[in-house]
Structure 1
Amino acid sequence: MDDRNDKSAKCKFVLIMLFHMLILFVEGRRVEFMKNRELLMHEGTVKTIKSEDGDVIDCVDINKQPAFNHPLLKNHTIQMKPHVHSSGTESENNHNILFQSWHKNGECPEGTIPILRTPHSNRRRRSYPTVSQKKQANDFSAPPGHEYALVALVGGQYYGARATINVWNPATYQGEFSFAQIWVGSGEGDEANSMEVGWLVNNGENKTRLFTYWTRDDYRSTGCYNLVCPGFVQTTTQISLGAAVEPVSRYGAEQFEIIITITKDKSSGNWWLLMQDQLIGYWPGSIFTSLADCSTEINWGGEITNSEFAGHHTSTQMGSGHFPEESFGKACFFEKIGYVDESGNMRDPEDLQVYVTKPPCYDLRFAKYEGDGISFYFGGPGYSDKCP
């Protein structure tokens, strides 16, 4: 009798284990199916490169890129380079190569552009820090759930912007983001237009990614990151917008930088993007309203999203996660910030306005050295006894 009970118990155990294994197998296949369904191959792909960090890059026929699904770009002719480079956009110090992990496993052929496979859900609403032309701190309007440490140039006509930014990998939590970026904007209310470029870290992913963003209606129904929706026209075969960049700066160690330039080509009306002096592509002037001619506001600096998930200020870091007074090698910086004037010359901005939403959490300070353009440090750790 005992033997029969023992055998019955063993049979039940085996059946239970097989049942659990079947559930795990089915769940695994479901997760894999969902992942593959979300990361569909782009139309026009001629080659696919899988990166060691998990990213998947499609080399897409340049004439079949998402931009040309935009109703205003149906008959658009690709411009491969601007008619004239703005004076002063060339960097004097270009020793850092802009490297992405997928480069180790191949390259995209001529006539294609590299596009990161991205889940369709990656259409998050962005925000634009609104700065009035009055020089008072309380004239800065920060959207709910966003915090900033930035400098702003307002009230003129600007035809581009530049900066050198060192790249870090700040900690992020609970679906929050940390940005270091340039905003080039114009217009107010529903007519707010913006182009944004920089690096970001999101949701504890532990990757620092290049990004662009644009909108023509204050983020209501137009615009997106990178090439997720039609708009930005990419021309380079070398850089995948949205893909991770490496290496990143380390505290007290070697610093790694990206040089970002946005410049208006008046002949075509297009806004060109350069990184490390390499042409990446452009935003066609036709997709904008108030930015179709020029910009009236430029911001440089950091942003984080703050969900206050635990009932207090977020611990998501901005910049390096350290305050600006720790300076070079420890804090994140913007160097040689500039704007392009109506004649196409790069200028040092004057009468910059500083906007910091919560200095005990994240702060900003101009660099004290002189003679090499305008630079500043920014950032901080977030939640602490001084940042409740």
Structure 2
Amino acid sequence: MANIINNKLEFFMLYLLTLSYMLSDRFVDGRSIGATKLVKHKGTIKTIETEDGDIIDCVDFYQQPAFDHPLLKNHIIQMKPSSIPSDLKANPSEPDQLFQNWHKSGQCPEATIPIRRPQGNQRPRDLYHFKQRRARLNHSLDSASDGDDLSAHEYATAYLGGNFHGAHATINVWQPTVSNNGEMSIGQIWVVAGPDDKVNTMEAGWRVDYDQKSKLFVYWTSDGYQSTGCHNLECPGFVQTNKQVALGSPIGGVSSYNSKQTNIGITIYKNNGNWWLKVNDQPVGYWPSSLFTYLANSATELTWGGEIYNNKIGGVHTKTQMGSGHFPSEGYGKASYFRNIQSVDSNGIFRDVEAGELATDVTKPSCYNINVQSDNSGGSGTNFYFGGPGYSDKCPK
């Protein structure tokens, strides 16, 4: 009889322990966390649930995903760039303060970095998007493989070839409508080197998926989008040093049509051998050069602009918008723009890119377009408007 009672008591205690463990992970600051958000990142010190519904883990700096990469086992950490470029052009309307809403719900402690927990499948099939864009520019459409549809990726971009140590632009942030699950709309910078099948890229800007939120993101690959690289901190690679920026988390404000314009400055530049990302006034982190082959030394192509993915549901063009959803011809306050376009030379000097130096790549001008211009008198340097509404009487397919 005593054994039966003891067994029941042990079972009950085990049940309570299991329940308490489950509840400890299901509630943060008194609020329930859905089942899809249960997995904490390794090294989490604190967890924050945001007003946007995101879960941010504050992860011990030295336990962030980057240091699990085999090429970074003996990596010498660079906590900040050795210099901040004085010749970097910044738009006066770029905010120096924090620009993401998650800070309203809490702050990460010192010696940690914020990592957003992925929620569901918000990624379209875009692993080969830039590889395919390059293939199309080189008239080698046969290289668009892996079952992805080349014509589903649509662009309105400006690009520059040469030898570079970085790129910069001021981008106004929008929240374009993304019509179908699996589609996306982005405004970003690409820093590129290498042949199409082994291309190395670093990418950064804003991105909207089917959740209709404009989010800061980064991406990288070192083998033509085949097996290396990822978005944000979803795999080892990018080393984050800033505790105030959560990659993949929504940007706090977006531009409004014919009203307030919200800008972010995106800068990628080489410093002490690594490729640093700077957003507005804040160094966010870096891609170690050891991750790359062709980008280990310098970039050979810089690209600025927009991209969408078109699922072609029902055989018609998607209504997913690019930029503001309005054509470049509508101009300031209505169309999306890149301003203060700069490149970085091998001496680390930021140079204004002249409008005549830029070539453009526009997939379907009737759906999305671009208009490059120079406006040094207005303080915005070489700039362009880009984007469009997608499906319309002018853009049926």
Q: TM-score, normalised by structure 1?
A: 0.85
Give the Å deviation of 1:77: 2.8
Which residue, 275, 289, 294 being the options, matches 1:290? Answer: 294
Quick one: distance in 2 between partners of 1:100 and 1:54? 13
Give the Å deviation of 1:160: 0.3
Quick one: distance in 2 between partners of 1:132 and 1:317? 22
Q: Which amino acid aligns with 2:241?
A: T
Equivalent in the alignment of 2:54: 55
Cα offsets for 1:42-94 (capped at 9, x unmatched): 01010111101100100000000000111111222321112233342262525
Question: Which aligned pairs between 1:191-270 and structure 2 lie closer than 5 A?
Answer: 191-203=198-210, 205-265=211-271, 267=272, 269-270=273-274
Q: Which amino acid aligns with 1:150?
A: T
Equivalent in the alignment of 2:313: 309
SS of aligned partner of 2:376: coil
SS of aligned partner of 1:310: helix
User: Quick check: 1:91–1:277 contact (8 Å CA) kept in 2?
Assistant: no
Equivalent in the alignment of 1:128: 130
User: Quick check: 2:327–2:386 contact (8 Å CA) kept in 1?
Assistant: yes
Unpaired stretches in structure 1, ≥5 consecutive residues: 1-28
Give the Å deviation of 1:140: 9.1
SS of aligned partner of 1:261: strand
Q: Which amino acid aligns with 2:219?
A: Y
Which residue, 264, 279, 286 being the options, matches 2:283? Answer: 279
Q: Which amino acid aligns with 2:45?
A: V
Quick one: distance in 1 between partners of 2:43 and 2:137? 49
Quick one: distance in 2 between partners of 1:194 and 1:95? 26
Give the Å deviation of 1:295: 0.2
Alignment pair present for 1:180 and 2:182: no
Equivalent in the alignment of 1:378: 386
User: Quick check: 2:91–2:340 contact (8 Å CA) kept in 1?
Assistant: no
Question: Which aligned pairs between 1:158-173 and structure 2 lie closer than 5 A?
Answer: 158-173=164-179
Equivalent in the alignment of 2:105: 105
Alpha-carbon spacing, 1:152–1:235, altered in 2? closer, same or farther (3 Å): same
Cα offsets for 1:169-206 (capped at 9, x unmatched): 00002220000000000001332000000001001x12
Q: CA RMSD in A?
A: 2.4
User: Quick check: 1:334–1:377 contact (8 Å CA) kept in 2?
Assistant: yes
Alpha-carbon spacing, 1:84–1:186, altered in 2? closer, same or farther (3 Å): same
Q: Which amino acid aligns with 2:263?
A: E
Alpha-carbon spacing, 1:39–1:200, altered in 2? closer, same or farther (3 Å): farther
Give the Å deviation of 1:366: 2.0
Equivalent in the alignment of 1:40: 39
Give the Å deviation of 1:342: 1.1
Quick one: distance in 1 between partners of 2:209 and 2:140? 25
Question: Taking every aligned residue pair, what percent have the same amino acid on both sides?
Answer: 52
Alpha-carbon spacing, 1:221–1:94, altered in 2? closer, same or farther (3 Å): same
Give the Å deviation of 1:218: 0.8
Alpha-carbon spacing, 1:130–1:47, altered in 2? closer, same or farther (3 Å): same
Alignment pair present for 1:345 and 2:349: yes
Equivalent in the alignment of 2:64: 65
Quick one: distance in 2 between partners of 1:249 and 1:273? 23
SS of aligned partner of 2:296: coil
Number of equivalent positions: 351
Quick one: distance in 1 between partners of 2:254 and 2:191? 25
User: Which has the greater radius of gyration?
Assistant: 1
Q: Which amino acid aligns with 2:197?
A: D
Quick one: distance in 2 between partners of 1:272 and 1:278? 11
User: Quick check: 1:43–1:64 contact (8 Å CA) kept in 2?
Assistant: yes
Q: Which amino acid aligns with 2:112?
A: T
SS of aligned partner of 1:315: coil
Give the Å deviation of 1:139: 5.2
Alpha-carbon spacing, 1:380–1:132, altered in 2? closer, same or farther (3 Å): closer
User: Quick check: 1:90–1:277 contact (8 Å CA) kept in 2?
Assistant: no
Deviates more, 1:64-73 or 1:364-373: 364-373
Equivalent in the alignment of 1:362: 368
Quick one: distance in 1 between partners of 2:106 and 2:134? 47
Quick one: distance in 2 between partners of 1:85 and 1:347? 15
Alpha-carbon spacing, 1:47–1:199, altered in 2? closer, same or farther (3 Å): same
User: Quick check: 2:131–2:224 contact (8 Å CA) kept in 1?
Assistant: no
Alpha-carbon spacing, 1:386–1:89, altered in 2? closer, same or farther (3 Å): same
Alignment pair present for 1:323 and 2:327: yes
User: Quick check: 2:189–2:304 contact (8 Å CA) kept in 1?
Assistant: yes
Alpha-carbon spacing, 1:236–1:285, altered in 2? closer, same or farther (3 Å): same
Alpha-carbon spacing, 1:77–1:119, altered in 2? closer, same or farther (3 Å): farther
User: Quick check: 1:130–1:140 contact (8 Å CA) kept in 2?
Assistant: no
SS of aligned partner of 1:361: coil
User: Quick check: 2:192–2:199 contact (8 Å CA) kept in 1?
Assistant: yes
Quick one: distance in 1 between partners of 2:200 and 2:130? 9
Quick one: distance in 2 between partners of 1:148 and 1:254? 26
Q: Which amino acid aligns with 1:40?
A: V
Cα offsets for 1:249-280 (capped at 9, x unmatched): 01011000000100001x3x210000012110
Q: TM-score, normalised by structure 2?
A: 0.83
SS of aligned partner of 2:247: coil
